[in-house]
Amino acid sequence: MSHVSYELKAAKRERVGKGAARELRRNGQVPAVIYGDKQAPLAIALNYKEVYYKIHGGGFLTTVATIDVDGDKIQVLPKDFALDPVRDFPIHIDFLRVSKTTLVTVEVPVHAINQDKSPGLKRGGVLNLVRHQVEFLCPADAIPDFIEIDLAGRDIGDSIHISSVKLPEGVKPVISDRDFTIATVAGSSAMKPETETPETVAIHGAETAAATAAKAAAPAAKAAAPAKDKK
């Protein structure tokens, strides 16, 4: 399932550069660029509030949008954005022109299901996500919000590979030369037996050596002892 497409209104930017961008931000707008599809890049300005809520609402980089640029409607996929490092508001966005036939590379989050049906987790194991996101090549109009890994029946030591994940039609992992691991069910540190330190091993070794020596000396001592006189 993908996020519902949305529309943003924008205006062409006649001026570009740092000074022009700062002026746009002071006026409640966000500078952006639309590129791709063998066309010249198009510099635009977007409404700050609309963009802010879309970015922080989730699924921004995996949802195709329509941008109305002075009446010209362009289908795009957000490819990158920059946030102010201090105040966390958007300061620039890159959009890629797309169509139904466009294939795009996106990173899709991993969600786990059926944790309560995993014997390993019930016994105190922990889920170790090797990949929190997986990179896929997929049609621009069929980007999944996330992929699911099923933990039902998974025990400690089990691994979940990409081959066990049900993918939507047309969606393929970028890594295609191996069945890579997405997650494992591992034993927790509380379940691991205590390991001996070098000091403990040395002490145990000394004790064992002493016990062996004493055992070997016992028969010799017995033989050397004088026999008691019989009364």
In order of their start, the domains of the chain are: 6-98 (2.40.240.10), 104-191 (2.170.120.20)
What's the count of helices (H) and strands (E) in the chain, helices before strands?
Answer: 4, 13
Are 223 and 216 contacting, i.e. CB atoms less than 8 angstroms apart? Answer: no
For residue range 171-229, list pLDDT tens digits in order: 999 999 999 999 999 987 655 544 444 443 443 444 444 445 555 555 544 444 454 44
Measured CA to CA in angstroms, residue 11 lies from 37, 130, 182 at distances of 20, 42, 42
Interatomic CA distance for residues 68 and 114, integer angstroms: 42
Q: Per-residue pLDDT tens for 66-107?
A: 999 989 999 999 999 999 888 888 999 999 999 878 899 999
Q: How far apart are CA 96 and CA 118, in angstroms?
A: 41
